[in-house]
Amino acid sequence: MHVPDGFFTASVSIGAAVVAAAGVSVALRNAKQELDDRTAPMAGLVAAFIFAVQMLNFPVAAGTSGHLLGGALAAILVGPYTAVLCVAVVLLVQGFFFADGGLTALGINITLMGIVTAAVAWGIFRLIVRVAPNRAAIVAGSFVAALVSVPVSALAFAALFAIGGTAPIDAGAVAAAMGGTHVLIGIGEGLITAVTVSSVLAVRPDLVYGARGLTRPLVLRTADGERVVEAPQGPEAKPIRPFLVGAGIVSLLLAGIVSFFASSSPDGLERVAEDKGFLGQASDHLFGGFALADYGDVGGIPVGVAGVLGVLITLAVGLGIAHLVRRRRKVTT
């Protein structure tokens, strides 16, 4: 659901940019409470993983595809404030290196795909886990939170379009089309999020921010059953590097190989814009002539190569920002 340049008036684009800047600023201040020796490197990895999976458009209806937004997944894995930063990094890399998502619409995209999805998903996830604090609830909560976050983001787009869209399209028609299409996309988002969270829970539950305090420590008992020894927990007991390397390889494989098999159908927003008659309002991207634009299509670069480059760039930027925020926490404490 990358909004291109031209869909919104200048006033709405500027207003959304202010909201996005404020949201990122709040996230930067509060993410230092979420980032520690585990979540700081995880943040860069999560951003890179979201970039990779966003390349994998999946079919949701005849002639329509969808892709992961990622706000829910990031919120559950590394915390809601850090999630906003992760999605913002992904959108910045996509916008400036791959001409994906308008530059004047960057504030709109960060607001819709980062702030709205992370806030909605985290609230729903915490409510479900609070009712049933166990691993099954974590996985179920991940699915529901991610599913709901997508149509809510789509309806937020429709609301903004009603305020300052550049085409005289009935607001109700846009809202109905966006909401209906993105419910289907939300199901895919929910499945991807639940499977990913479940996989991390299975191997490293300590790396799931949303599961903190809910996973039981390992307990060893002697043969007589009287003595109880708690196995050491945390990064000092289990190194994080092997997990990060493995997950990084998965991200590279998704972007470098699986991306060749992604659906070529237009995504939900593009389909709605075409059906409702405002797709023509989109303007050319400032960097549309760059070699990596449209994930290498403009420069003749294979999509897999472009994907690998994107994962590496996103990982580097994400890690850099996470460690800077982490360093600020150490200084202030």
CA distance 114 to 118: 6
Q: What is the pLDDT of residue 230?
A: 45
Amino acid at 69: L
Q: What is the pLDDT of residue 245?
A: 95
CA distance 207 to 212: 8
Q: CA dihedral defined by 163, 167, 168, 171, rounded to 10 degrees?
A: -50
Tokens for 307?
């994907």
Is 4 a member of any domain?
no
Is 1 a member of any domain?
no
Q: What is the pLDDT of residue 95?
A: 97
E strands present in the chain: 58-61, 64-66, 219-221, 228-230
CA distance 152 to 158: 10
Is 219 a member of any domain?
yes
Is 170 a member of any domain?
yes
60 SS3 class: strand
Q: What is the pLDDT of residue 146?
A: 98
Radius of gyration (Cα) for the chain, nearest Å?
20
Which CATH number characterizes residue 203's domain?
Answer: 1.10.1760.20
Is 3 a member of any domain?
no
Residue 109's domain comprises 10-332
Tens of pLDDT along the chain (333 residues)?
899 999 999 999 999 999 999 999 999 999 999 998 888 999 999 999 999 999 999 999 889 999 999 999 999 999 999 999 999 999 999 999 999 999 999 999 999 999 999 999 999 999 999 999 999 999 999 999 999 999 999 999 999 999 999 999 999 999 999 999 999 999 999 999 999 999 999 999 999 999 987 755 555 565 665 545 444 444 445 788 999 999 999 999 999 999 999 999 999 999 999 999 999 999 999 999 999 999 999 999 999 999 999 999 999 999 999 999 988 766 555
Tokens for 329?
């926490």
Is 44 a member of any domain?
yes
Q: What is the pLDDT of residue 236?
A: 44
CA distance 235 to 243: 12
pTM: 0.92
Q: What is the pLDDT of residue 309?
A: 98
- Could you tell me where the DSSP H helices lie in 32-134? 39-54, 71-78, 80-97, 106-109, 117-131
Compute the C-alpha angle 120/137/201, nearest 5°: 95
Q: What is the pLDDT of residue 279?
A: 97
Amino acid at 333: T
- Residues facing 66 on adjacent strands: 58
The total number of structural domains in the chain stands at 1
Is 5 a member of any domain?
no
Is 190 a member of any domain?
yes
